[in-house]
């Protein structure tokens, strides 16, 4: 094991590795042998500058104080960058969805959805942060079945009073990427997280992703095939940068009831419909969604 860890932390095992670095499982000997996860990230880019993704994650989590957002416990300089220390969470929502022997109960789906929306409401309303990569793999679950939003590498502060600020369209994982981003929008807001939350909720209900395209074009085709022609409810879509680059055949909207299992309730379908809408302005806010009849 070549990874540097201060004496405070006792290494147990490597539990993940990706483009942003390696994740280790360790024991915090200064805190009653609490099990933690240590995420090693590169502090600098290949051009010598500080990685904006690393800074965004640190800044976002330093100010977060919500039960449903992962807590940044500690950080220390690593040989190649920076190490961020978090509560250890044994599961992701992605791993729970893949566990066919233990499918999610209706109560768990409702509970996870409420936790996700509560965390998003806190981010959007209190911190003015949009996460920009809501998906099952970024939603962690602890041994007490508490869900927490994690991985803030793409998070950005937004100003609700500045409706003309431009952001990168290179955000969100394709299956959970909203249509405005797929059509190249650079002016958008926190409603991109609401689309992601709606698709996560739909995936919990169905057991499989709602839109699973292999390319951005196929992703848009799947959305259009399900939601119908976007101009019917969202005339502004024609002004998006990439709207005229490809034409899709006219499509009639499918009924949600035909897409979900027969035992899905009208309240569950109603919440999906309120979140998964073409027009970002028509999607509920996270705070509004928490008052939906599904939670009553």
CATH code (residue 63): 3.30.200.20
Q: Are 75 and 120 within one domain?
A: no
Quote the pLDDT of residue 1.
Answer: 41
Residues paired with residue 10 on neighbouring β-strands, in sequence order = 27
pLDDT in single tens digits along all 296 residues of the chain = 445 677 888 989 888 776 567 889 999 998 888 999 998 877 665 545 556 767 777 777 887 889 999 988 888 887 777 888 999 999 999 999 999 899 999 999 999 999 999 999 999 999 999 999 999 999 999 999 999 999 888 888 888 888 788 998 989 999 999 999 999 999 999 999 999 999 999 999 999 999 999 999 999 999 999 999 999 899 999 999 999 888 888 888 999 999 999 899 999 999 999 999 999 999 999 999 999 999 98
Name the token pair of 118: 């509560």
Quote the pLDDT of residue 18.
Answer: 62
Q: Are 54 and 165 within one domain?
A: no
- Determine the Cα–Cα distance for residues 185 and 167; give it in Å rounded to an integer: 8
SS3 232: helix
Q: Is 40 annotated as a binding residue?
A: yes
**Residue that is last in its domain, among 20, 55, 87:** 87
User: Count of domains in the chain?
Assistant: 2
Q: Are 79 and 159 within one domain?
A: no
DSSP letters, 125-148, are III-EE-S---GGGEEE-TT--EE
Q: Are 70 and 110 within one domain?
A: no
Please report whether residue 2 resides in a domain.
Answer: no
Strand ranges for the chain from DSSP E: 9-18, 21-28, 34-42, 72-77, 81-87, 91-92, 129-130, 139-141, 147-149, 156-157
| Angle, helices 106-121/191-206, rounded to nearest 10 degrees | 170
CA angle 223, 224, 228 (to 5 degrees): 125
Please report whether residue 71 resides in a domain.
Answer: yes
Q: Are 100 and 73 within one domain?
A: no
Quote the pLDDT of residue 264.
Answer: 92
Q: Are 153 and 73 within one domain?
A: no
Q: Which residues are catalytic?
A: 133
Name the token pair of 291: 């008052």
Q: Are 217 and 71 within one domain?
A: no
Please report whether residue 3 resides in a domain.
Answer: no
Q: Name the residue range of residue 64's domain.
A: 9-87
- Is the pTM higher than 0.85? The answer reads yes
Name the token pair of 240: 């998006």
Kind plus residue range of the DSSP H or E element containing 226: helix 216-227
Q: Are 119 and 172 within one domain?
A: yes
Contact 94, 137 (CB under 8 A): yes
């Amino acid at each position: 094991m070549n990874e540097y860890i201060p004496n405070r932390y006792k290494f147990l095992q490597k539990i993940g590795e990706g483009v942003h670095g390696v994740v280790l499982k360790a024991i915090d000997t200064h805190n009653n042998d609490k099990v933690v996860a240590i995420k090693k990230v590169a502090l600098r880019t290949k051009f010598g500058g500080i990685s904006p993704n690393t800074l965004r994650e640190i800044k976002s989590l330093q100010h977060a104080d919500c039960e449903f957002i992962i807590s940044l416990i500690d950080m220390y300089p690593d040989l190649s960058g920076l190490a961020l220390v978090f509560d250890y969470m044994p599961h992701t929502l992605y791993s729970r969805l893949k566990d066919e022997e233990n499918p999610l109960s209706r109560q768990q789906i409702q509970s996870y959805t409420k936790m996700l929306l509560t965390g998003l409401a806190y981010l959007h309303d209190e911190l003015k942060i949009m996460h920009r990569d809501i998906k099952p793999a970024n939603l962690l679950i602890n041994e007490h079945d508490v869900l927490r939003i994690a991985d803030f590498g793409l998070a950005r502060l937004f100003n609700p009073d500045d409706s003309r600020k431009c952001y990168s369209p290179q955000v969100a994982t394709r299956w959970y990427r909203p249509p405005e981003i797929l059509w190249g929008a650079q002016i958008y807001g926190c409603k991109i997280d609401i689309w992601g939350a709606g698709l996560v909720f739909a995936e919990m209900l169905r057991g499989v992703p709602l839109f699973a395209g292999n390319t951005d074009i196929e992703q848009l085709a799947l959305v259009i095939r399900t939601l119908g022609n976007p101009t019917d409810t969202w005339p502004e879509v024609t002004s998006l940068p990439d709207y005229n680059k490809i034409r899709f055949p006219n499509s009639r909207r499918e009924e949600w009831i035909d897409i979900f299992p027969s035992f899905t309730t009208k309240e569950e379908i109603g919440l999906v419909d309120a979140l998964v809408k073409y027009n970002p302005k028509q999607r509920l806010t996270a705070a509004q969604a928490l008052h939906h009849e599904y939670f009553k």
